[in-house]
Amino acid sequence: MSKHADSAHPTRPAVAWIGLGIMGSPMSENLIKAGYDVTGFTLEQDKLDRLTAAGGTAAGSIAEAVRDADVVITMVPASPQVEAIAYGPDGILENARAGTLLIDMSSITPQTSVDLAKAAVEKGIRVLDAPVSGGEAGAIEAVLSIMVGGGQSDFEEAEPIFDALGRTIVLCGPHGSGQTVKAANQLIVAVNIQACAEAVVFLEKSGVDLAAALDVLNGGLAGSTVLTRKKDNFLNRDFKPGFRIDLHHKDMGIVTDAARNVGAALPVGAVVAQLVASLRAQGDGGLDHSALLRSVERLSGAQL
Ligand code: NAD
């Protein structure tokens, strides 16, 4: 532990948090609630104000945020943003101290995670890829699944932080493994949402009480966390994100590309990837991924 560690809690590392969006804001707030000293940087001023209101410290740049940190956590949209915040003179690798543990919780390509870990070693910085599943609700409730790639001792060092953010926390293998598991997660979630959306349109057109039908379905083998979490989105046509179609489009690209690289066929996943891409092309990229329902409705004759 460095001399920069949180003085009120000498056993807790000082944390820098980069990327305070839908996920990063509630996650960083859970760390603050657990007693961590969190300094954050993100692009939106209102998110920095939210961090300050929650008891964190707002920084004016990445360099300022990471300078005195023991642990740097990143939660930005995709590989290009991870590369933008990690590399270059203003980036994390140039400005964090040797010995820092960098935990990237964004969902990105496994190769980007592998490359980042290699570049960081040259600066004496250790890296874990630690993408999450559970959505905004899971972030708020600190019940995320966290899939980790990297070294065993770095994982053990990060475990108290992960415990403050999630419930199911697993080291999946070396660098990039967390991202590979997350890609599989996104495949399962997209296909599951698509199946639920098709069932919703089928049930409504058949004149069945949708709320009653979804309740009983969710109690049987067709039940899922997707159905539990997204049922009200379907019932109320409430597609406020949540998890944006734009981000799921990115993830379907990651999983189809990674699967092709290892010779795994994803026939259903490939179709759902096209449906996600089509929804985005129709201007729905900013909606929650439960808006896959709109795509099925359009295919079934609705003018939306
Ligand atoms: P978001 O768009 O709400 O937030 C991203 C944040 O990154 C923004 O606040 C933005 O300011 C910040 N950012 C981007 N570039 C930056 C830069 N150069 N410097 C500093 N900050 C920068 O996205 P989100 O929904 O919170 O998702 C973040 C990651 O988590 C994505 O990889 C996503 O796939 C993944 N994820 C999201 C969910 C979800 O339900 N939203 C669930 C699991 C995983």
Please enumerate, as own/partner, the contacts of 50-53 that have beta carbons within 8 Å and a separation of 24 or more. 50/20, 50/25, 51/17, 51/20, 51/25
d(CA 276, ligand 1 centre) in Å: 19
Is the per-residue pLDDT at 6 higher than 80?
Answer: no
Average pLDDT over residues 126-141: 96
d(CA 269, ligand 1 centre) in Å: 24
Active site (annotated) includes residue 230: no
Split at pLDDT 50, 70, 90, the class of 11 is confident
| Selected catalytic residue, list 47, 118, 182, 230 | 182
Average pLDDT over the chain reads 96
pTM here is 0.94
The CATH 3.40.50.720 domain(s) of the chain lie at 15-174
Average pLDDT over residues 22-28: 98
Tell me the percentage of the chain whose pLDDT exceeds 90.
Answer: 96
Residue of minimum CA distance from atom 19 in ligand 1: 42
| Digit-coded pLDDT (tens) for 224-280 | 999 999 999 999 999 999 999 999 999 999 999 999 999 999 999 999 999 999 999
Please give the angle made by the CA atoms of 10, 16 and 17, to the nearest 5 degrees: 130
Q: How far apart are CA 54 and CA 37, in angstroms?
A: 11
Q: How far apart are CA 193 and CA 195, in angstroms?
A: 5
Average pLDDT over residues 33-38: 98
Question: For strand 15-18 and strand 38-41, is the pairing parallel, antiparallel, or unpaired?
Answer: parallel
> Which CATH number does 15-174 carry?
3.40.50.720
- What atom in ligand 1 is closest to the CA of residue 135? 40
Fold of 181-299: N-(1-d-carboxylethyl)-l-norvaline Dehydrogenase; domain 2 (1.10.1040)
Average pLDDT over residues 266-295: 98
Is the per-residue pLDDT at 145 higher than 50?
Answer: yes
| Digit-coded pLDDT (tens) for 153-198 | 999 999 999 999 999 999 999 999 999 999 999 999 999 999 999 9
Is the per-residue pLDDT at 219 higher than 90?
Answer: yes
pLDDT of residue 1: 41
Dig out the tokens for 247 from the structure.
């981000």
d(CA 19, ligand 1 centre) in Å: 6
The CATH 1.10.1040.10 domain(s) of the chain lie at 181-299
Is the per-residue pLDDT at 3 higher than 50?
Answer: no
Q: How far apart are CA 206 and CA 211, in angstroms?
A: 14
- What atom in ligand 1 is closest to the CA of residue 251? 34
Q: How far apart are CA 31 and CA 38, in angstroms?
A: 7
Q: Which of 51, 76, 145 to mutate to test the pocket of ligand 1 (most atoms within 8 A of CB)?
A: 76
| Digit-coded pLDDT (tens) for 70-96 | 999 999 999 999 999 999 999 999 999
